[in-house]
Structure 1
Amino acid sequence: MWSFNNMDMKKYIACFFFVWCGISQFSCKKFLDVKPLDKLTGNNFYQNKEDVEAVINDMSRMMFDKFNETQFVGATGEYRSGEVKHEPASDGGPIRRCVEIAGTNNLLELMSNGTWNNTYHFERITQWMTYYKIIQAANILVFKLNEGIPALSAVETKQYLGEAKFARCLAYFFMVRLYGDVVYYTDAYHIEALPRESMVSVFNKCIADLKSNMNDMPWGFSDPAQKGVRASRGSIIALIMNMNMWNAGFDGSNATKYWRETAEMGDVLIKSNAYRLLPLTEWAVVARGRSDESLFELFRTVNYGDYVWPGAPISDMFIHFPYKQPQSRFQLSYAYYKAEYMQKIFPETDPDKRKDAWFQNMYANTGEFLLLKVAMNKYTEGTEDNNPENTFQIFRYADAILLRAEALANLNEDVDALTALNMVRKRADAPNYIGTGQELKDFIFNERSRELFGEGVLYFDLIRTKRILTRTWTSNPLTLDQFNRGGWTWPIDGAARDNNPFMVLNTYWTNGGI
């Protein structure tokens, strides 16, 4: 289950990529009720439903750990767009200048300068071993499920196969968007060295993998504790849509195919009526997690004793007193989005209730800026430096609706694109948009920037649409040469070459990042 409780870690043995070994045995509390693991690959394991649940839960914890080991969402999906500035007068102001270093694409300094890296440890983003641990655990689980676990019904087996494949493909999804081409494999107990494979090929294989059990997955769950945090059919559709739209940007000769499938998948998702856009007055429910709007998230709550490193959530950068205590330290936010950018995507004269619901002092151009969108679930007692209790949102219903709108606009099916676009705008009490052609495409991009503000989507949208190449769309454009040489990627830690003679690191960064 993709939700997290305190765990007592012990060792279990597993084969991992290139004879890597992963160590983690745990027991869970509260609604998970998972028994301790003894051996991931042993003959006495994979005997019953509890064993399978334990592996799925461990994969989810490893993914959560990647988000929790640095400020992952902001560093990877927001700051590199160049729209964020630090507030020098805030508490620990110089440390927060990292947002501007990321905004100039100077990742080598971002990871080497101790002023901020000793706090945020951005170098951990370059380390992909945890993703491969997830992949190998999923590969073994798929193998064991296909082999047959007598205690499981046919329906349960198919659903668990879908969950395992989702976990595997989600790991590839994050790796491709961070590193570009990656090593791809799906066989259990893999030990042979492999070269990196084209990211388009990897995503096409993942899409086929996800489709093989998509229809075996439920749309939702009767247990509210599983809503959004357990992989569902909606989760798989959202992942397929995102992979297709990424490939459309890098495999232009087949873009129409990717757009068509994205549009069709989005139509299936909407017609399922399994999800809904909550009113903005209920946004705190969405931010906390397990809402009707969540397609997939990494849920956590202090009610289960979860520990989230204070610097991990993006809210840490953009909120201040009274949403962060104590008052004496948090008069200002650590960082803010530039007023020029805010006025571009949220013009002051345009009606849009997201402006009031999600922001305070949104055009301040100082640390008075406050991202209320991530501040609502605040702690109400004590004076500790705690962030609001929000989930790590991965896929949200509005994201999928707008991907469908974008795909339809690219197919020149403007009427249907407008219908999808205006579903999201209606929730914001923003006027229906009526443009067509390139203006519509550009408007949808900006609508995604508005709706998914601060959710770690902006930079990846700039990359896949190639808008990163022009200052019209970003304060931190790349030249075409930089883009083609991989300037949009992250460096890959040199440990990836261990035991793999075929491994080549991202040369843009090994050549100095220029």
Structure 2
Amino acid sequence: MNIKLIKKNTAVLLVLTCIVFTIGCKKFLDIKPLTELTGNNFYKSKEDVEANMASIYFKFFGKINESWVIGAIGESRSGEAFAVTGSDNYGSRKVVEVLGQNNMISVINDQPWKDTFHFERITNWTSYYQAIQSANILISKLNEGIPNLSEKDKKRYIAEAVFMRCFTYFWMVRLYGDVVYYTKAFQSEPLPRENMVSVMKKCIADMNEHVADLPWTYDDPAQRGARGSKGAALALIMHMNMWNAGFDNGHAMEYYEETAKSGEELLHKNGGAYALLPLERWPEVIKGRSEESLFEFYQSINYGDTTSSVASFGDSFLRYPYKFPASLFLTSRMAFRGAYMEKLFPVDVADKRKDLWYADIYANNGRFMMPKFAGNIYASGGENKNPDNSFLIFRLSDAMLLQAEALAELGRSAEAIPYVNQVRARAGAGPYEAAQGTLTDFIFLERRRELQGEGHTWFDLVRTKRILSSQWANHPLTLDQFNRGAWTWPIDRASLKDNPFITLNDYWASSGGI
């Protein structure tokens, strides 16, 4: 969802912020005295619903725009990246190595990276719950009835709000493990954290109930990928099932079956709504609104959108001529280890991704770079800003590889391999062969190749338990660390305020996690 939708009705949105988020607001254009405002004063039209939906997306994106969230939570904790000696702002970028050692206490508290990245903000889940509460209230108001809103639109908006509620819970579970779960509008009584498998099961059921009410895509091409669609919802269902398969072992086969069922619908019944684009058109994908996008947070300077200078994954993995001025960016700030990149992309194996997404791919210095995130640089050149790209969350190749993984786990390799080979064929890489290793291991590596920098690596390591093995992680966890929650993020102690039922994550709350 892009910020333009918010700007369409600034006055309405400011009123909504006062109502939903309980933030002190001054009068704006004297629309109404604040003492007269209630939810019923606001939900009077389709335009009000649109403004509310926009605020939910905006609230979530604002949270992941606070820091280097995609890089910190999804890519760096397996220990494959390092800070380039002598690069710009080298001291703060050393944090990537601390992330790789899973020393989250230092990541959050220590200088010199604290003032640059503010990773302590990731530990605070308040904004996520504000987005959830806003979705809950909107669903409640839609069920009560909104004037001149058709039944079809009502169902679609409910389904879209359910998507954002479920997506937010999915995001939080992967960060914190167990979370407080509620769907009641204006929730006030404190609740304890609920087992994450239970939360995901409820979200899967919730999303399955409403997915049919979402369109495959929107009539307005500006909304492609930027709003919850049927493709986005099915991808979310697939991810939630695959997450639970890793933690609810006794029912893993059931989750794989459900993943395959959703994948079949997404990949074969979408009416041509989605497609893998030729790799040469990658700048269109990273820009957003492409046929390959299932869900993203679209950003554009043309709408006056503002992205934090450190939020983009590519910020640390680009150099001149994609970062300016040249004197400051002769090297990238971070790089992936050459040995790791050679494991992903063997020297003697053809793959267009090596050439189009990387420069000096095996270099153990600042010559390494990821032009994967270099599309859409500013036309005038010379600005010390990141390229004008969107934040990709789910795209078609991700869903294809999840489908392949689920089918492989079910022993249906003949059905799984074509999905893997479609992704590889797009990259000009050869098909999977048994000599390359087990199919499940190969799919895991293919996900690392295809999705590097998009926030999936760490979570794939965790849900498949490969984080316990030095074969897959440079700094693996022990089983005891894993079971005590060392894969999670610490939770801000502020969550304990006014809720006697909340407990913090054991590993980080104890001395063993320091």
TM-score when scaled to structure 2? 0.94
Distance in 2 between the 1:185 and 1:320 partners? 45
Partner of 1:90: 87
- Amino acid of the residue matched to residue 492 of structure 2? D
Q: 1:333-391, CA deviations, whole angstroms, 9 ceiling, x for partnerless residues?
A: 00000001000011011111111110000101111111010012112324321001110
In the TM superposition, what are the counterparts of 1:148-167 in structure 2 within 5 Å?
148-167=145-164
> 2:505 matched to 1:506?
yes
1:299 CA displacement: 0.5
**Cα contact 2:19–2:39 (8 A) shared by 1:** no
For residues 76-110 of structure 1, the C-alpha deviation after alignment (integer angstroms, 9 at most, x for no partner) is: 00110100000121111111100001000001001
Report the 3-state secondary structure (helix = DSSP H, G, I; strand = E; otherwise coil) of the residue aligned with 2:424. helix
Mapped pair 1:452 → 2:451: yes
Aligned to 1:31: none
Distance 1:345 1:438, change over 3 A: closer
Q: Does 491-500 or 374-383 show the bigger shift? A: 374-383
C-alpha separation in 2, matches of 1:52 and 1:493: 32
**3-state SS of paired residue (1:114):** coil
* Structure 1 equivalent of residue 125 of structure 2: 128
Match of 1:30 in 2: none
**Alpha-carbon deviations, 1:445-497, whole Å to 9, x = none?**
00000000111110000000000000000101000000000000000001111
1:189 aligns with 2:190: no
- Alignment CA distance shift 1:127-1:37 (3 Å): farther
Distance in 1, Cα, partners of 2:318 & 2:491: 32
Helix, strand or coil: the match of 2:434?
Answer: coil
Whichever residue aligns with residue 241 of structure 1, its letter is M
Q: 1:60 to 1:254 in 2, by over 3 A?
A: same
Give the counterpart of 2:242 among 224, 245, 248. Answer: 245
CA contact (8 A) 1:84 1:336 kept: yes
Residue 64 of structure 2 is aligned to residue 67 of structure 1? yes
Q: Hey, what does 1:333 align to over in structure 2?
A: 332
Q: Residue type matched to 1:434 in 2?
A: E
Q: 1:22 to 1:178 in 2, by over 3 A?
A: farther
TM-fit CA distance, 1:37: 13
Query: Offset at 1:23?
Result: 5.9
| Structure 2: runs of 5+ lacking an equivalent | none
CA distance in structure 1 between the aligned counterparts of 2:27 and 2:445, rounded to whole angstroms: 44
Amino acid at match of 1:473: W
Q: What amino acid maps onto 1:293 in structure 2?
A: E
Greater alpha carbon shift after TM alignment, 402-411 vs 90-99: 90-99
Aligned residue in 1 for 2:422:
423
Of 246, 259, 263, which residue of structure 2 is paired with 1:262?
259
Q: Is the 8 A contact 1:471 1:477 kept in 2?
A: yes
Are 2:296 and 2:393, in contact at CA under 8 Å, matched by a contact in 1? yes
The residue identity in structure 1 corresponding to 2:121 is R
Task: Report deviation, 1:151.
Answer: 1.5
> For the Cα contact (< 8 Å) 1:11–1:23, is it kept in 2?
no
Give the equivalent residue in structure 2 for 1:58.
55
Judge conservation of contact 1:13–1:40 (CA < 8 Å) in 2: no
Distance in 2 between the 1:456 and 1:78 partners?
A: 6
CA distance 1:257–1:24, shift in 2 (3 Å): farther
In structure 1, distance between residues paired with 2:52 and 2:298? 17
TM-aligned CA distance change 1:221 to 1:436, over 3 Å: farther
Check whether the contact 1:406–1:444 (CA below 8 A) recurs between aligned residues.
yes
1 CA distance for matches of 2:241 and 2:27? 36
Give the CA RMSD over aligned residues.
2.1
Q: Give ranges in structure 1 of 5+ residues lacking alignment.
A: 28-34
Identity of aligned residues (%): 50
Provide the residue aligned with 2:41 in structure 1: 44
Q: Which residue of 2 aligns with 1:292?
A: 291
CA distance, structure 2, for counterparts of residue 26 and residue 506 of structure 1: 41
- CA–CA distance in 2 between the matches of 1:127 and 1:85? 26
* Among 210, 213, 229, the residue aligned to 1:213: 210
| Alignment CA distance shift 1:417-1:24 (3 Å) | farther
| Matched positions, count | 503
TM-score by length of 1: 0.94
Preserved contact between residue 246 and residue 464 of structure 1 (Cα < 8 Å): yes
Indicate how the Cα distance of structure 1 residues 497 and 223 shifts in structure 2: closer, same or farther if over 3 A, else same. same
Partner of 1:393, secondary structure, is strand
2:474: which partner in 1?
475
